[in-house]
Structure 1
């Protein structure tokens, strides 16, 4: 194999590694951070936030209460307790793989 081919492989591996790191970071930090930014916090739904508007709409649509398993309930659960190990693993695998694919395509 020519030296130029080795350099291309090394750059592709570096790009994929950067992509996996970014993907994993999004899964473990970005997703919970985004949910908290919407207003789903450890202390409950933040007044005046997007989460509060979502909760209000869900309660009106459901006759006064938020249904268990609804989007609002799941997001509040994540905001209060964080992601489960299974969710972290799944998100890391999915976003890490996507990140690796994008990273491998970056200009060499």
Structure 2
């Protein structure tokens, strides 16, 4: 029974970490709801992406996707995927392997 409790706690922690941590990390890089923050990593990525694309940031590029997440958050499908992945990883990490 203790193993189930450990796995449940691990699943909750894993899901929470990904659902909260990834958007926070994207914001910390400088992709915010108000746009790209001056002097941030995002501000350095944007001109590099524009130069590589011949003058503009391409739709679907990493900079465009990260800015979209920073501005509007993750879609429901992305949240479900992150929650599932985090839960599975957390449960696996907290699982106690007991000898039979």
Matches within 5 A, 1:1-108: 10-105=1-96
Number of residue-to-residue matches in the alignment: 98
Q: Does the Cα contact within 8 Å between 1:19 and 1:96 map onto a contact in 2?
A: yes
Which ranges of structure 1 fall in alignment gaps of 5 or more residues? 1-9
Give secondary structure in 1 for the equivalent of 2:27.
Answer: helix
Higher helix share: 1
- Once the two structures are superposed, what CA deviation does each residue of 1:16-37 show, in whole Å capped at 9, x if it has no partner? 1111111111222111001000
Give the TM-score normalised by the residue count of structure 1: 0.85
Q: How many Å separate the matches in 1 of 2:44 and 2:62?
A: 13
Runs of 4 or more consecutive aligned structure 1 residues displaced over 6 Å after TM superposition: none
Q: Write the deviation string for residues 47-82 of structure 1: whole angstroms up to 9, x where unpaired.
A: 110011111110111111100000000000000000
